[in-house]
Amino acid sequence: KTKESDEMSKDLKDRGFKFVGSTICYAYMQGAGIVNDHVVDCFRHGELK
C-alpha cells in the first residue's frame, strides 16, 4: 500500500468502480510491472529495471 495506490483507488472509486481498494490497486501495479517489489539480491530485480 502506497500513496500512489491510495490515489489510484480513490480516483477509480470517484469514477464509479466498486471493488478497488488500495491493496487491489497495489497488486495491479505489481502485476503490470509498475512496481518492482523484488529484493535487491533477487535475480529478477535487475531484470525488471
Q: Where are the domains of the chain?
A: 3-47
* Residue 33 banded pLDDT, cuts 50, 70, 90: confident
How far apart, in whole angstroms, are the C-alpha atoms of residue 16 and residue 19?
10
Cα torsion 10, 14, 20, 1 to 10°: value is 0
How far apart, in whole angstroms, are the C-alpha atoms of residue 40 and residue 9?
28
* Residue 41 banded pLDDT, cuts 50, 70, 90: confident
How far apart, in whole angstroms, are the C-alpha atoms of residue 7 and residue 5?
5
**pTM, whole model, 2 decimals?**
0.76
